[in-house]
Amino acid sequence: MRSKSDAPRLARHPGRLVAFSDAVFAIAVTLLVLEIQPPEDFGHLLRGLGALWSSYLAYALSFLLIGQVWVNHHVMFDRVRHVDRAVLFLNTLLLMVIAFLPFSTSLLAGALRAEQGLRTAVVVYGATLWTAAALFNIIWAHLRRAKLLDPNFGPSGVRAIGRRFALALVWIGSGILVGAFVPIAGVVIIAGFLPAYYLPIRGEYGEDNKATDRRD
């Protein structure tokens, strides 16, 4: 008779988690544009459209940031063999934060337009992104500790992805800190996060992984 310790371990494939996450990302970016309301005065439509510059700016920034989160979410889960209940819970928290971003975006756009409360709006906006980055790090740390990653993915790639995720905490945290005193500078720092994090991570595809591991 097979004992409980000999029972096969339930292996949840990450496919459903990724599909659900993709749907939430898609809804979040759609909600961003719904926050942009057309001008009420159609007699001066061009001027009214120009007055919405803060909404355009906040929309573009958040759309690209959510896209970046989506890209790195795939970078992470492309290397996951299976997921456990803790990963499901942590990923749910991450999606909850992403779904909150349209509100933070609307807050930032409104503060830019009103030229009031900008420090608070930048801190709230940055804190939303920082929380998402923190959850990325927590999920990645759990995946490593629980040995849920693809065993064929070498340690150099694992470390490279971990470093990229950890750097996000420092980068966005700096933007929040600066934004609390100089709001526009804080937004610029957070926006500067975009080009760096759309670049591929060395070893994420495995090519550099094997070469580095051989040298080690």
Distance of alpha carbon 104 from alpha carbon 199, whole angstroms: 25
Give the rounded percent of residues in the chain with a pLDDT score beyond 90.
69
Report d(CA 194, CA 104) in Å as an integer.
18
Enumerate the domain spans of the chain: 13-210
Residues in the chain: 216
Residues 158-193: tens digit of each pLDDT: 998 999 899 999 999 999 999 999 999 999 999 988
Percent of all residues in the chain with a pLDDT value above 70, rounded to a whole number: 88
Task: State the pTM of this model.
Answer: 0.86
- CA atoms of 63 and 24, how far apart (whole Å): 13
pLDDT in tens, 23-64: 999 999 999 998 888 888 888 889 989 999 999 999 999 999
206 band by pLDDT with thresholds 50, 70 and 90 = low
Alpha-carbon gap, residue 49 to 106, rounded angstroms = 16
